Structure 1
Amino acid sequence: MDSFGIYLHVPYCKAKCRYCDFYSAPGARGVPQSYVDALLRELGKNARRPDTLYFGGGTPALLSPAQVAALVEAAAPLPGAEITLEANPDTVTWETLQGFRAAGITRISFGVQSADDTQLRRLGRTHTVAKAAEALQLAREAGFPEICGDIMLALPHYTNAEFDATLSLLQQGGCTHISAYLLKIEPGTAFARFPPEGLPGPDEAADFYLYAVQRLEAAGYRQYEISNFAKPGHEGRHNLLYWNCRDYWGVGPAAHSCLNNRRFYWPDDVQAFTDGSAAEQPEGVCDAEDFLLMQLRLNRGMDLDEYARWGGQFTPAQMTFLRHCVASGYARFADRRLQLTPAGMVVQNAILEALL
């Protein structure tokens, strides 16, 4: 049976980060039971057991352990399933971490972002560096086999030293997986309305990314996707479903799905989802273009024969462009496989634009 993942969207947050454009709702008092009941209602309609279950947000760690346990039970993941919960360092305690682990969470992912308190305040994060270190230590003590951490790159007034300090924090915290993202100013965010001073230019941002790739590799975190790095054998199985165009079902407002190559999504309306008046909306089909977009995110690249099975084929002009990319150090061709190098991943959007 093909792999299948379920994504549960928990949109509640204590505060909105200044760079965030994800759909969210105020959640200082936790996640309403009525919302959890709505997730349970939808899970009750599914008979397919998932290989992966992902609690994303928002801040899913605002759920109580009892709520998480009920949702895991309703999702009925297969034995050995990867079950991930995202968390902010200041939303967990020893008791909740123990409870999440007992509920079946195997993989906890902390939005650490930086090991600089001034930077965290600038971003609108509500935790401190000390709190991040404490949360990582408590997660180790609670027995999570997989601990993940996020790093943001090319932040205002950024330096390689800030990256090194953040990497050291995550290493000492026992992280098996690290996601490293370049800051992008998205429309509708606080940063878009009031751009921060000291933002690196595009060339500087590219240098920060390439430095991060090199440092993570040296620290034993192998790059397997444009923004994701892991100790061997600790790659995130759920997100690999997305990048390999496998089936996944998203539940909750603004959650997206792709089942049997058909895409659909829930409207971004908590109230309509909770009261049952919302319905999933069609979003088209997953085709060769989607396959190309997803596969070129991966470090192992795209198999051209598999691309052809999706109905894709490069024109002579596109092949000439790709040979130029190879000669310029942006891509590699080997055994009918097209891979972007780290330098190519920096300019991935421009490469994709030429290929699409």
Structure 2
Amino acid sequence: MSLGLYLHIPYCFSKCRYCDFYSHPGERGVPEAYVDALLRELSRFAPERPLQPDTLYFGGGTPSLLRPEQAKRLIDAARPMPGAEITLEANPETVTEESLAGFREAGVNRISFGVQSARDTQLRTLGRPHTAKQARAAFAAARHAGFTNISGDIMLALPRYTEAEFDETLELIEGGGATHISAYLLKIEPDSAFGKHPPEGLPTGDEAADFYLYAVEQLEHHGYKQYEISNFAKPGYEGRHNLIYWDCGDYLGLGPAAHSCMGGRRFYYPPDTAAFLNDTASPVMDGSCGAEDYLILQLRLRKGLSLDAYKKLYGKEFSTAQLAFVQNCVRAGYASFDGRTLALTPAGLIVQNSILAQLL
């Protein structure tokens, strides 16, 4: 059974206007005390021997605010398996060729840049602190530092969005040597700055769906095969860490607001950095991961849900009513079904929540 390790780095320069993740804006680095706290939790979960995860993911916040030597301490303590995928999320304005070479030397072998748009006016609207020029420079620096597994994020259906803006952003990321692209619709979260003061010029739901389908088509055309609702990769460059989530594997998340699922049991750390630093916040149990979670997560993947695996793992079979609904989805162009595997099409992924509501 694969194990994924997630290390949350909550520090960042500034809060993007769409972001509702737990983070600390106004920071220029990661305190040594925070790295020590993560090391403490690592040893708590693996007191006798290192965890040896199959994947290690530095998420945030802005993990590229770590110094390479801090990342090395954490990687060395976790002792990932040989050939493990070790990902660092990075904001373009926070990296240099020197820092990226340091991360590479520390053991990071996959870098993920939050680009979002190739237009500086849009980046300012989003509250992103980088420019398109800095994004291009970051990709070039990553290649020079020896990275061959590079991901870039594109945000779709932004204020006053056009297909041309998507094309420009894809050109920047593809031209930067990306082997993986995450492309996802802007979601207005209630607790974000956009939630409190929505921007003008947001596309309608139908327009957003059209932008999504256009993105899927263009990404496939450029050799990025869709393997999950928002993720596209060149062959062999699918994100292994997130696949552990979607396949209901074991993953351990360390840091404030980090979530875990180990042995079918879910738990999380309270979103309180001070308590995490002071060792006064124990993980909170959050129920179990079962058949319903498996169905939901598998239907995010283009490969779909294997009914044989569903039965083998959870003893579940589709009812006559569920099978009739599936056939309706197939006729509507929302799904494919060969009697053994149910997979949603791009059009079906757009209305995935409605489909799941019916299936469940």
1:141-156 matched pairs, under 5 angstroms: 141-156=144-159
RMSD: 0.8
Looking at structure 1, the residues matched to 345 and 231 of structure 2 have their Cα atoms a distance apart, in angstroms, of 14
Deviations 1:231-273 (A, max 9, x none): 0000000000000011100000110101111111110000111
Q: What amino acid is aligned across from residue 204 of structure 1 in structure 2? A: E
Looking at structure 1, the residues matched to 90 and 26 of structure 2 have their Cα atoms a distance apart, in angstroms, of 13
Q: TM-score, normalised by structure 1?
A: 0.98
For 1:355, the equivalent position in structure 2 comes to 359
1:264-275 matched pairs, under 5 angstroms: 264-275=267-278
For 1:17, the equivalent position in structure 2 comes to 16
Give, in angstroms, the shift of residue 29 of structure 1: 2.4
Q: Percent identity?
A: 65
Looking at structure 1, the residues matched to 27 and 4 of structure 2 have their Cα atoms a distance apart, in angstroms, of 29
Q: Work out whether 1:95 is the aligned partner of 2:94.
A: no
Q: Which moved more, 1:43-52 or 1:102-111?
A: 43-52
Q: What amino acid is aligned across from residue 337 of structure 2 in structure 1? A: F
1:77-156 matched pairs, under 5 angstroms: 77-156=80-159
Q: Which moved more, 1:21-30 or 1:67-76?
A: 21-30
Is residue 261–residue 289 contact of structure 2 (8 Å, CA) maintained in 1?
Answer: yes
Q: Work out whether 1:343 is the aligned partner of 2:347.
A: yes
For 2:228, the equivalent position in structure 1 comes to 225
For 2:211, the equivalent position in structure 1 comes to 208
Is residue 12–residue 28 contact of structure 2 (8 Å, CA) maintained in 1?
Answer: no
Is residue 27–residue 62 contact of structure 1 (8 Å, CA) maintained in 2?
Answer: no
1:1-356 matched pairs, under 5 angstroms: 2-45=1-44, 46=46, 47=49, 48-309=51-312, 310-356=314-360
Looking at structure 2, the residues matched to 221 and 78 of structure 1 have their Cα atoms a distance apart, in angstroms, of 27
Partner SS, residue 329 of structure 2: helix
* Runs of at least 5 residues in structure 1 that lack an aligned partner in the other structure: none
Looking at structure 2, the residues matched to 162 and 339 of structure 1 have their Cα atoms a distance apart, in angstroms, of 30
Give, in angstroms, the shift of residue 93 of structure 1: 1.1
Q: TM-score, normalised by structure 2?
A: 0.97
Looking at structure 2, the residues matched to 237 and 5 of structure 1 have their Cα atoms a distance apart, in angstroms, of 9
Looking at structure 2, the residues matched to 229 and 220 of structure 1 have their Cα atoms a distance apart, in angstroms, of 9
Is residue 188–residue 195 contact of structure 2 (8 Å, CA) maintained in 1?
Answer: yes
What number of residue pairs does the alignment pair up? 355
Give, in angstroms, the shift of residue 148 of structure 1: 0.4
Q: What amino acid is aligned across from residue 7 of structure 1 in structure 2? A: Y
Give, in angstroms, the shift of residue 321 of structure 1: 1.3
Give, in angstroms, the shift of residue 26 of structure 1: 2.6
Partner SS, residue 302 of structure 2: coil
Partner SS, residue 96 of structure 1: helix
Deviations 1:192-218 (A, max 9, x none): 111101100010000000000000000
Q: Which moved more, 1:210-219 or 1:45-54?
A: 45-54
Looking at structure 1, the residues matched to 170 and 303 of structure 2 have their Cα atoms a distance apart, in angstroms, of 24
Is residue 65–residue 99 contact of structure 1 (8 Å, CA) maintained in 2?
Answer: yes
Give, in angstroms, the shift of residue 27 of structure 1: 4.7
Q: What amino acid is aligned across from residue 67 of structure 2 in structure 1? A: S
